[in-house]
Chains A and B, each alone.
Chain A
């Protein structure tokens, strides 16, 4: 029962925060709402036996990436937009496409589920599922090459960011 309650709580807060993020005018508020979504998702990760990912979610996503966002928002001092949304037909098309996409995703989730409309049962998991040790094991064996590639990607990003930020614009 505990999981169900927490799931309801986290999912509601995640969706509410997400809506707030998309429709708030003030960029700082948007960023804070996104932090709210991230924290809710972190809670859901714990429910899903992904403790390490949950911790990383807070540490990296909420703690580092979003702070960076906040920084930029504050540095740029972007005032609330006028108007908020894209004008004209693009907005209508945007909502329309997003709606269709949602219906399709819904369709997939429902149709690909368990037999006869019943949701697939949740399997029992080993006790150390999602622990840092287990993550480390497969990360440094099966996924070693992608891992190294990712590290190179990050380095490239760092160099790119520094170059972009340092360049003097005429």
Chain B
């Protein structure tokens, strides 16, 4: 019965969003919480039921669609509002509803004192609906609807505190940068429609291998255009700039949208459309290269940031890069696996950070924290688990997923790609533990006033932290047995990526269990080294980082200022467009368009002056004219 209720999974949050949105301000807070959390909770329960039903089906028929109504019917073009559930969608659906539910619960604590409580939950529910529409959509157009709607919700939630100029600016930036990506995505959809005459997933994906040759220009164009969309949504080079600024939004939002779900939409989309990438080796290569460059690039910036949420933001960008590396070497299941584990521990990290910020009355600067271990025991314990997970320490979730990506990179991408990945992993371990040590260990640098209010967060916040911590520990085991061949998640996703097998890029090295274990050990050692260095820098010898920064002043400033990317964009992209637009407005808009419009208006006015002479104001004259018209009409009908 679960699968027949599939449509309720996205619908319930929508209902919640409408209720909370329309009744915002009139409902008591408890009611708002009940609607907001309840709708997503119910939706999660149904999602679990659907998942159970899906598992009960034989693997090759695990694709269920449910049409709701015809959305657009115009000539050849046909689009249904239809949801589809297959293993890939199921994983995403569970992540979105599950993690989403926990974050909703967390929000009731974190946002408890917020004035616009109803508005917040309305947005959050709307986001959940949009994200579910994105992952469950059965055609490109509906997916695009979800895609745009999550962007909208992201914009609304980043700018949730719109009274703060920084938040409003950040929302705007996110929106504009995403538009660039969306533009690519949309063009990709157009190209797909032109090529296949349909936007249905089933039609397009089954026809793609027959219609397009491997390496054909069309396949490459489609793949790259779609990937442009993915870089925007998933904050990859060069469109990553919005994500760090997005941290202006409430922290649960950062956890849900800008870490666990929305930013992974790009990865999901690439995995969903893997057939185009497999048909176009160059595009696949682009994905891998962009992924690894982003991973390294963001990691270096993350090394020196001082804002707790910004470090996490760069870490997210970096981890998303890893996922694209996985996809880029043709190991889509590995990318999705990392997406899932990342959703757990990154959400946990953000929520933990939120708990810290909450405890410190809004303080986000790492250098004003320290020694919080004793004050926030639950937050500390769960945060440590998440940090270990992201650093890739056995047996936490991140270890499994990251190593699988690195192994696949070794296998199909070559040693160079692997090497870069390992360096990234080292940096990940370093900056994450830097974050951890600065926050929880060492001497307290908390201000007097904040110290005064210091408290552990309420149950509604620590509860989700604990559940996510458990998931961060055991999340990796869904892939057990981890060695090649037996991976359970891979097998579950197998039907989706079945066609990938014969098209996948040839392996550079033979897969061997021994090599795999060896690589695992190497990366584990690298992670531990990163942790050790962080310990050395920030606990054992706190003066060391400063000295190092003095010695390498140029490099430090370059990284600290995020490679000046924002400034470069500002002067080379934003300003020229802005100035050009101003020119256009002055020359073209004001003169030609306004002139034409006003001119037409003036002519009509003049004509009306003449026409109004016919209006006498006497009702009966009007009635007479009316009668004349009727008489003529009746006469025509009578004598026809």
A is bound by B: yes
B627–A90 touching, CB < 8 Å: no
B634–A90 touching, CB < 8 Å: no
Q: A90-B621, A90-B624, A97-B624 are in contact. Are A108 and B638 (CB under 8 A)?
A: yes
Chain B residues whose CB sits within 8 angstroms of the CB of A108 once the complex forms: 634, 637-638
A97–B638 touching, CB < 8 Å: no
Q: In the complex, which of the residues B621, B634, B639 has the most CB atoms of chain A within 10 Å of its own CB atom?
A: B634
Q: Given the complex of chains A and B, what is the CA–CA distance between A43 and B109 in angstroms? A: 75
**Interface SS majority for chain B:** helix
Is A100 on the interface with B (CB-CB < 8 A)?
A: yes
A86–B620 touching, CB < 8 Å: yes
Q: Given the complex of chains A and B, what is the CA–CA distance between A133 and B469 in angstroms? A: 69
Q: Which of B511-550 contact A (CB under 8 A)?
A: none
Closest to A112 in B: B638
A111–B620 touching, CB < 8 Å: no
Q: A100-B631, A101-B630 are in contact. Are A90 and B620 (CB under 8 A)?
A: yes
For the A-B complex, the count of residue pairs with Cβ-Cβ distances under 8 Å equals: 31
Q: Given the complex of chains A and B, what is the CA–CA distance between A97 and B631 in angstroms? A: 7
**What's the interface size class on B, roughly?**
10 to 19
Q: Given the complex of chains A and B, what is the CA–CA distance between A105 and B624 in angstroms? A: 18
Report the minimum CB–CB distance from B616 to chain A (whole Å): 10
Chain B residues whose CB sits within 8 angstroms of the CB of A86 once the complex forms: 620
Q: Which of A74-128 contact B (CB under 8 A)?
A: 86, 90, 93-94, 97-98, 100-101, 104-105, 107-108, 111
A98–B637 touching, CB < 8 Å: no
Number of residues from A at the complex interface, CB < 8 A: 13
A94–B638 touching, CB < 8 Å: no
Is B628 on the interface with A (CB-CB < 8 A)?
A: yes
Chain A residues whose CB sits within 8 angstroms of the CB of B620 once the complex forms: 86, 90, 94
Q: A86-B620, A90-B621 are in contact. Are A107 and B631 (CB under 8 A)?
A: no
Report the minimum CB–CB distance from A78 to chain B (whole Å): 17
Chain A residues whose CB sits within 8 angstroms of the CB of B628 once the complex forms: 97
Q: Given the complex of chains A and B, what is the CA–CA distance between A111 and B638 in angstroms? A: 8
Chain B residues whose CB sits within 8 angstroms of the CB of A105 once the complex forms: 634
Q: Which of B302-361 contact A (CB under 8 A)?
A: none
Is B635 on the interface with A (CB-CB < 8 A)?
A: yes
Chain A residues whose CB sits within 8 angstroms of the CB of B637 once the complex forms: 108
Q: In the complex, which of the residues B621, B638, B639 has the most CB atoms of chain A within 10 Å of its own CB atom?
A: B638
Q: Which of B621, B624, B635 contacts A104 (CB 8 A)?
A: B635
Q: Given the complex of chains A and B, what is the CA–CA distance between A104 and B638 in angstroms? A: 7
Q: Which of A46-87 contact B (CB under 8 A)?
A: 86
Q: Given the complex of chains A and B, what is the CA–CA distance between A101 and B638 in angstroms? A: 11
Q: Given the complex of chains A and B, what is the CA–CA distance between A90 and B624 in angstroms? A: 8
- Encode B598-640 as 1/0 by CB contact (under 8 A) with A: 0000000000000000000010110010011011001101110
Chain A residues whose CB sits within 8 angstroms of the CB of B627 once the complex forms: 94, 97-98, 101
Report the minimum CB–CB distance from B274 to chain A (whole Å): 50
Report the minimum CB–CB distance from B514 to chain A (whole Å): 75
B624–A101 touching, CB < 8 Å: no
Q: Given the complex of chains A and B, what is the CA–CA distance between A101 and B633 in angstroms? A: 10
Q: Which of B618, B621, B634, B639 contacts A101 (CB 8 A)?
A: B634
Q: Which of B618, B624, B634, B635 contacts A93 (CB 8 A)?
A: B624
Q: Given the complex of chains A and B, what is the CA–CA distance between A108 and B639 in angstroms? A: 9
Chain A residues whose CB sits within 8 angstroms of the CB of B621 once the complex forms: 90
Q: Given the complex of chains A and B, what is the CA–CA distance between A142 and B51 in angstroms? A: 44
- Encode B87-108 as 1/0 by CB contact (under 8 A) with A: 0000000000000000000000
Chain B residues whose CB sits within 8 angstroms of the CB of A93 once the complex forms: 624
Q: Given the complex of chains A and B, what is the CA–CA distance between A59 and B400 in angstroms? A: 84
Report the minimum CB–CB distance from A62 to chain B (whole Å): 26
Q: Given the complex of chains A and B, what is the CA–CA distance between A90 and B622 in angstroms? A: 11
Q: In the complex, which of the residues A94, A98, A104 has the most CB atoms of chain B within 10 Å of its own CB atom?
A: A104
Chain B residues whose CB sits within 8 angstroms of the CB of A97 once the complex forms: 624, 627-628, 631
Closest to B639 in A: A107
CB-based closest 5 A-B pairs? A97-B627, A104-B634, A108-B638, A107-B638, A104-B638
Extra pairs beyond A93-B624, A98-B627 (4, CB < 8 Å): A90-B621, A100-B631, A107-B639, A108-B638
In the assembled complex, 15 residue pairs joining A and B whose CB atoms fall closer than 8 Å, in A order, are A90-B624, A94-B627, A97-B627, A97-B628, A97-B631, A98-B627, A101-B627, A101-B630, A101-B634, A104-B631, A104-B638, A105-B634, A107-B639, A108-B634, A108-B638
